[in-house]
């Protein structure tokens, strides 16, 4: 019995949160083991006392019967305390306690594990679809980025070609300007040559007409035919220019 008392006292450490009235079975257990302090050992009965108290003893339960009834109460209270301890442990884990059982009845019941598993599968499938959509969008963005990179490379090549063409045009323009300057120089030189030829023509014309320095013609000059021939050749030369 002392062993059971030690076990029950150890169990009392785990049921500190139980209702105070549940501790009644500890007092009953102590009474069952140590005996009721109010129950003192009666004096040895005599024949007269046995006869006098026979009717009273028949009406009252014996000490053994009292201990049996007390043991039944202890067992009942022990069972109730164990149930309350399990309920309190469930409350510590997040479940409803016996004190909140009335309020829990008014609340919606918690979902069973299969329903929770179904919701988890649904959420997992939803996340999987969203991930697939994100991967598809990422792939589309990668393809667009590759296309943009290609277009950028083509634009860079075209820009380089345009820069080369512009440089070549600048070179051609410079060459044209140099040729124009050369042509201007040639034109000026031709103008000077033409002016010189005009002067020479006037001189030869004067010689062909046989005029002297005063502008009068000499009719009987021996160089008249030679002068005409020179004038004709000079005119042909001028026509070539």
Give residue 68's pLDDT: 46
Spatial separation of the C-alpha atoms in residues 68 and 200, rounded to whole Å: 169
Element at 96 (helix H, strand E): none
| pLDDT tens digit sequence for 180-233 | 999 999 999 989 888 888 887 787 677 666 554 454 545 555 566 666 777 777
Do 9 and 84 lie in a common domain? yes
Do 74 and 176 lie in a common domain? no
| pLDDT tens digit sequence for 53-109 | 544 444 444 444 444 455 555 556 666 655 554 555 444 444 444 454 445 455 545
Do 67 and 146 lie in a common domain? no
Is position 47 within any domain? Answer: no
| pLDDT tens digit sequence for 19-63 | 555 556 666 666 666 655 444 455 555 544 554 454 444 444 444
Helix 2-14 to helix 24-34 angle (10° resolution) is 170
| pLDDT tens digit sequence for 133-158 | 999 999 999 999 999 999 999 999 99
Is position 114 within any domain? Answer: no
Residues 30 and 69 sit within 8 Å (Cβ to Cβ) = no
Closest to 74 measured CA to CA, from 128, 42, 30, 139: 30
Spatial separation of the C-alpha atoms in residues 208 and 205, rounded to whole Å: 5
Do 231 and 131 lie in a common domain? yes
Q: How many CB atoms lie within 10 A of CB 26?
A: 18
| pLDDT tens digit sequence for 9-18 | 555 555 444 4
Is position 217 within any domain? Answer: yes
Spatial separation of the C-alpha atoms in residues 241 and 237, rounded to whole Å: 7
Do 25 and 128 lie in a common domain? no
Spatial separation of the C-alpha atoms in residues 176 and 219, rounded to whole Å: 56
Give residue 232's pLDDT: 76
Range of the domain at 3: 1-38+58-93
Give residue 168's pLDDT: 94
Q: How many CB atoms lie within 10 A of CB 30?
A: 15
Do 132 and 231 lie in a common domain? yes
Is position 98 within any domain? Answer: no
Do 149 and 72 lie in a common domain? no
Domain count, the chain: 2
């Amino acid at each position: 019995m002392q062993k059971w008392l030690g076990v029950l006292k150890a169990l009392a450490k785990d049921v500190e949160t139980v209702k105070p009235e549940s501790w009644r079975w500890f007092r009953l257990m102590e009474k069952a083991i140590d005996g009721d302090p109010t129950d003192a050992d009666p004096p040895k009965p005599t024949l007269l006392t046995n006869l006098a108290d026979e009717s009273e003893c028949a009406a009252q339960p014996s000490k053994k019967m009292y201990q049996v009834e007390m043991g039944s109460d202890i067992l009942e209270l022990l069972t109730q305390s164990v149930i309350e301890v399990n309920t309190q442990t469930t409350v510590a884990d997040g479940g409803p306690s016996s004190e909140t059982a009335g309020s829990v009845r008014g609340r919606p019941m918690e979902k069973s594990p299969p329903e929770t598993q179904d919701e988890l599968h649904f959420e997992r499938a939803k996340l999987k679809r969203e991930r697939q959509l994100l991967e598809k969008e990422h792939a589309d963005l990668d393809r667009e980025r590759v296309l943009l990179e290609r277009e950028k490379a083509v634009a860079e090549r075209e820009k380089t070609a345009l820069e080369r063409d512009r440089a070549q045009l600048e070179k051609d323009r410079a060459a044209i300007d140099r040729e124009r300057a050369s042509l201007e120089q040639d034109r000026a030189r031709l103008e000077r040559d033409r002016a010189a030829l005009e002067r020479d023509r006037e001189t030869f014309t004067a010689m062909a007409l046989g005029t002297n320095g005063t502008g009068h013609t000499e009719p009987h000059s021996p160089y008249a035919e030679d002068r005409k021939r020179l004038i004709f050749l000079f005119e042909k030369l001028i026509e070539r220019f």
